[in-house]
Each structure stands twice: as C-alpha cells, then as structure tokens.
Amino acid sequence: MDADRIALENEIAYSIAFNEINARFYGALKAAIAFANLAAGTSAVAGLMAAVPGLIPAAAVVVAIASIVEQLAHVADRAAHFRLAARSFRHLERRLPGLSTQAAMDELLAMRADVDFGVRALEAAAWNLMCQRKGYTEHKMRLSAWQRCLAALA
C-alpha cells in the first residue's frame, strides 16, 4: 500500500475521531446545561432554598446563564451536526476500497469543508483516539491539563 493511501486512511480515521469526540463533548455540555436548569430551577421554584433565601437569586442566575449559553452555542444542534459528520466520514471509510486515492481525497476535502469547526482543544484528544484505534500508540500526543479536562467531558 502506498504512503498516500495510508495517509488518506489516517486522515479519514482522524476526521471520524474528531467529530465523534466533539459530538460527545457537546452532548455532555447539553446534559450539564439541562442539569443546571433542572437543579437550580426546581430548587428555587419548589422552595427547597427557603432555608437560605439568599441562594434563590443565585439559582436564577445559574438558570439564566445556562439558558444563554445553550442559545448562543446551539449546543443540541452542534452535537447533532458532529454526529452526522462522523457518520458521513464512516461512510466514506467503508467506501474507500472502491475509490481511487485522488477521488477519496477530493471527497474528504469536500466533506471537511462542510463540517463546522469543533473545539480545537479536543484535536489532540481526537488524534490520540485515532492512534489508539489504529494501533499507533507510540504516536500519541501529550495532553495539557485543559485538554485532559475537556476530553474527560467528551
């Protein structure tokens, strides 16, 4: 197998890993926002904070911030977008044996142009996931503390 074909397979595998990890991250962020809304909203409304009335405005602020983040980041839409992109890259991976290297590369580049930018701090974690799946453990990258925290959420 030639080097271009191997590089193409690795690029597709990386694209799958990057979109999967971004989909999981946005899914976890969506769940965290929903939990914040539920926990803060119901405790304030249900009167569970009656013992400490000063916490009710704080709960309202948590609900407001969570709602703003959800609206600005379009968290649910982005999670679905990255899941769909990962599925498309997997489909390309399955069709790869029947495509020429140039045709597959053209399709890969076109598909990447249609995918939103993900969380760039997750790039190294996606690279490590691809290396793990391909058996290239010696090529894994070291993650910073910030990258490890974000990868743990995903």
Retrieve residue 59's tokens.
């709960």
How far is Cα 143 from Cα 151, in angstroms, rounded to an integer?
A: 9
DSSP 140: P
SS3 label, residue 31? helix
pTM as predicted: 0.78
How far is Cα 114 from Cα 132, in angstroms, rounded to an integer?
A: 26
- In this structure, is the dihedral angle defined by the CA atoms of residues 153, 20, 112 and 85, taken in order, positive or negative? negative
pLDDT digits (tens, 9 = 90+) for 78-125: 899 999 999 999 999 999 999 999 999 999 999 988 888 788 888 888
Neighbours of 18 (CB within 10 A): 25
pLDDT digits (tens, 9 = 90+) for 4-25: 888 999 999 999 999 999 999 9
- In this structure, is the dihedral angle defined by the CA atoms of residues 97, 102, 107 and 113, taken in order, positive or negative? positive
SS3 label, residue 123? helix
